Amino acid sequence: MPPDEEDTFGVALSNGRRVLVQVQAWDNMMIRTKRGMNMKDKPFRLVSVRLMDAQTKEPIFKRRMWLGVWGSGRRINLEEIYWAYRQRFDIEHFLRFGKQNLLMDSFQTPDVEHLDNWMEIVSRYTGYFG
């Protein structure tokens, strides 16, 4: 099935490498109802993202990244969807690392100031947000 919308744009990765981002979208997709959760009234936008080498136009990774966009976010353009995911990707990795290695999910203190100080240390230690 051909995509409803397609876009390609260039970006520079953090290591300076130039790549092309190929984004395709299929609108009004539906998920099958499972375990009593009715999904018939919840259409979404299926988005495929592929990174291509800027010079050879060959894919950098074997598989595409697939995203589902629900709600009011379905109407934003494809480049905005890509950048929103990239921002969220960094946050998710920070939270996963923090929970697994820095006690972010189990640090307990009765003093909010101590918690604020701990989160400041954690975020600076990991190199995120600071």
User: What is the per-residue pLDDT across 12-49, written as a single tens digit (0 to 9) for each?
Assistant: 888 888 999 999 999 988 888 777 777 778 888 999 99
Distance in angstroms (rounded) separating the CA atoms of residues 45 and 82: 13
Q: Rounded to two decimals, what is the model's pTM?
A: 0.68
For the chain, what are the domain ranges?
A: 1-75, 77-130
Largest Cα separation within the chain, whole Å, is 57
How far is 63 from 49, CA to CA, in rounded Å?
9
Residues 6+ apart with CB under 8 A from 59: 50, 51, 52, 53
Residue carrying structure tokens 């400041």: 120
Which range (11-15, 18-22, 78-82, 126-130) has the least confidence?
126-130
Q: Which pair of tokens denotes residue 118? A: 């701990």
